[in-house]
Amino acid sequence: MTVEERGSGPGTDVLIRKVDSHLATLRTGLQGPELELAEQLARCLRELVIATAHSSAADRGLVRAAVHYFVLRRESRGRLLSVRSLAAAQRVVNKAVRQLGRPDLLVETRRERPSRAPALSAGDSAPR
């Protein structure tokens, strides 16, 4: 019997399964921007888990903590994960991304993304 290895460190598959399982649960209750944020967080966390599989114990611990924060964060009112909790998870994940020197993985919501140029109204002329 052959076992296929991903070339990852111990615990990598477990963390990715936790993220994927939690995302599957969120898909049943979230939609729109909240679901998009959850999917972005999951994608970022998967990438961080894989990227730090052979890194220092401190880096792996940082990623593990971010995964656990995303997966285990609960609200007391019975709702699995509120938008507020997703925003808190986003802050934790983005902090880990910055500490690991991976700004390419920052998770931004639509309203955080800068607009390309201000929209012109009908009476305005284009800047010269």
> Model pTM greater than 0.75?
no
Q: Are 44 and 97 in contact (CB under 8 A)?
A: yes
Instruction: Go through 1-10 and write b for each residue having 16 or more CB atoms within 10 A of its CB, e for each that does not.
Output: eeeeeeeeee
Angle between helices 12-29 and 32-51 (to 10 degrees): 180
d(CA 122, CA 55): 55
Task: Please report, in tens digits, the pLDDT of each residue of the chain (128 residues total).
Answer: 333 444 565 679 999 999 999 999 999 988 999 999 999 999 999 999 999 999 999 999 999 999 999 998 655 445 554 555 888 999 999 999 999 999 999 999 765 444 444 444 455 555 54
Per-residue confidence (pLDDT) for residue 11, from 0 to 100: 79
